[in-house]
Each structure stands twice: as C-alpha cells, then as structure tokens.
C-alpha cells in the first residue's frame, strides 16, 4: 500500500501558499482562516461610519477606545465566520491584504446553526442597549427589505457583495479590482446580477467602472446625523464583453 508523508506534504503546501505567484491570485478561504480575513476588514473599516454606528453611541461614551476597537473586531470576526460557513470569502495578497465577503444565490446566514457556529449570537450580549436597537431593529431589517424591494424576484437568485476592503498598507495595488472581477466573472457566466451597499460615496465611481449602477440611497437615522448607504446593482454582462481589459482574471464594500 502506498503511503503519504503528511509532514512533507504539509511543508510543501505551506511553501506553495507563500509563493509570490499565489499571493497575487484570488483564493477562497475556509473557516480555518477567518480570523486573518476579519482582521483585514477590521483595519479597512476602522473609521467607516456604518461600522462605527453600533459602537459610537451615548450609552458607550464611558467605554475606552480599546474596548470599542475590540467590539469592532468581534463584529467582523462573527460576520466573516458566518460567510465562511454559508457564503464565499475571498482574499488576495501575501498577508490577507484585501478581503471580500460574498453571499451567493440561494444562501443566507440567518439559520440558527450558522448563528451559533459563527458566534453571531454573542452580539446580543455584547452590544449596548442602543447598539442592539440599531443593529437588530434598524440596520438588518433596512438592508433586508431594501434588497428585496430592489431585486424583486431575483433577490434569492443574485450575488451579494457584503464587504470588500483592503488594508491601508495594500491600497492602490489593484487587489480590490481582482476580487471584484473574480466573482463578477462567475456571475456573468451564470447570467446573474450582483448587489451591494456602499458605505462610502467616493467608492461609487470605482464600482461604476465594473458595471454597477446606483439604484437608491438609504439612511441610518438613529445617530446624531443620518448615515447614507448607496445601493448599487450590476447586471450580468456577456462574457466576451465583461472580460475586456481584465488581465489576470481567473475564470463586499467599503474601503478599497
């Protein structure tokens, strides 16, 4: 019977994963790497108004910035884990330099088993009273109903870019571009639309380059000032057209 040296195989796999070529390619992450992916998003969304919406409140005023940062990281850890279980988490770069969280057609992270495994249930106990109201009574219902209203019968038959972010040290390297192209190419092959909410108005022009069109703006209104989210949809494009000028293509939403 043939035998495999597991130690040598593991060493070989590690060497492959650290090669310069592989770090410039989009790869899909499993649950074993969710913390590294979440850390990238935590850095990318460190000052994002929507990400801070559940932390910067009057009933959290006495808490330290260190405590708030840990809360910020915890939220993204749970969300990232849930996408590893039920969605698609992609990354690129030598140190998880850019990460995207996708929810594919027919999938969601609302089932009890995913909530338990990912740690999402902990948010009920970690968020402040106002934080729970904002997250569970305003934010989640607003996003759910808006997506349903915009996509209609395609709501459960489209790709959803939930998060897309790059570490500050990795911006300008084209990583976000490759993450977008990787999944929109798949959506085009399947003739499916892609939906996103952008928390930064400045990113809308960027998304438009890849075929996204603004549909509507929505607002979170429980804070001192309204915070806008820009809803965008990309319709499927003919494969030949969508691949023009996209060298290196393999065939979020937030800070790029």
List pLDDT tens digits, range 160-209: 999 999 999 999 999 999 999 999 999 999 999 999 999 999 999 999 99
What CATH code is assigned to 27-234? 3.40.630.30
Residue 44 has pLDDT above 70, yes or no: yes
Residue 8 has pLDDT above 60, yes or no: no
Residue 10 has pLDDT above 60, yes or no: no
Residue 154 has pLDDT above 70, yes or no: yes
Q: How far is residue 238 from each of residues 18, 193, 213, 247, measured CA to CA in Å?
A: 35, 12, 17, 17
Strand partners, 198: 230
Helix 34-44 / helix 65-86 crossing angle, nearest 10 deg: 130
Domain ranges of the chain: 27-234
Using 50, 70 and 90 to split pLDDT, how confident is the model at 21? Answer: low
Give the dihedral of Cα atoms 116, 118, 122, 123; nearest 10 deg. Answer: -120
Residue 23's pLDDT is: 78
Residue with tokens 């899909």: 28
Average pLDDT along the chain: 89
- The mean-pLDDT minimum among 9-18, 187-196, 225-234 falls in 9-18
Q: What is the pLDDT of residues 99-143, one digit of tens each?
A: 999 999 999 999 999 999 999 999 999 999 999 999 999 999 999
Residue 30's pLDDT is: 98
Closest to 183 in 3D by CA, of 193, 173, 174 = 193
Q: What is the pTM of this model?
A: 0.86
Q: What is the pLDDT of residues 70-111, one digit of tens each?
A: 999 999 999 999 999 999 999 999 999 999 999 999 999 999
Residue 5's pLDDT is: 42
């Amino acid at each position: 019977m043939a035998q495999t040296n597991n130690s040598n195989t593991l060493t070989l796999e590690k060497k492959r994963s650290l090669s310069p070529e592989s770090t410039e390619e989009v790869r899909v992450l499993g649950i074993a790497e969710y913390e590294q992916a979440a850390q990238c998003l935590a850095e990318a969304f460190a000052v994002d108004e929507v990400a801070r919406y559940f932390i910067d409140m009057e009933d959290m005023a006495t808490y330290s910035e260190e405590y708030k940062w840990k809360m910020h990281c915890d939220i993204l850890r749970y969300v990232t884990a849930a996408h590893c279980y039920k969605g698609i988490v992609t990354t690129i770069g030598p140190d998880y330099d850019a990460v995207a969280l996708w929810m594919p057609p027919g999938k969601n992270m609302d089932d009890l088993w995913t909530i338990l495994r990912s740690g999402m249930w902990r948010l009920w106990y970690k968020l402040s009273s106002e934080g729970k109201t904002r997250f569970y009574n305003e934010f989640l219902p607003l996003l759910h109903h808006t997506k349903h209203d915009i996509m209609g019968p395609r709501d459960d038959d489209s790709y959803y870019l939930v998060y897309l972010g790059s570490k500050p040290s990795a911006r300008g390297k084209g990583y976000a571009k490759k993450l977008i192209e990787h999944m929109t190419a798949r959506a085009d092959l399947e003739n499916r639309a892609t939906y996103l909410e952008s928390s930064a108005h400045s990113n809308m022009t960027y998304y438009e380059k890849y075929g996204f069109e603004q549909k509507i703006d929505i607002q979170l209104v429980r804070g001192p000032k309204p915070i806008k989210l820009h809803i965008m949809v990309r319709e499927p494009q003919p494969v030949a057209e969508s691949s023009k000028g996209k060298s290196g293509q393999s065939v979020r939403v937030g800070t790029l």
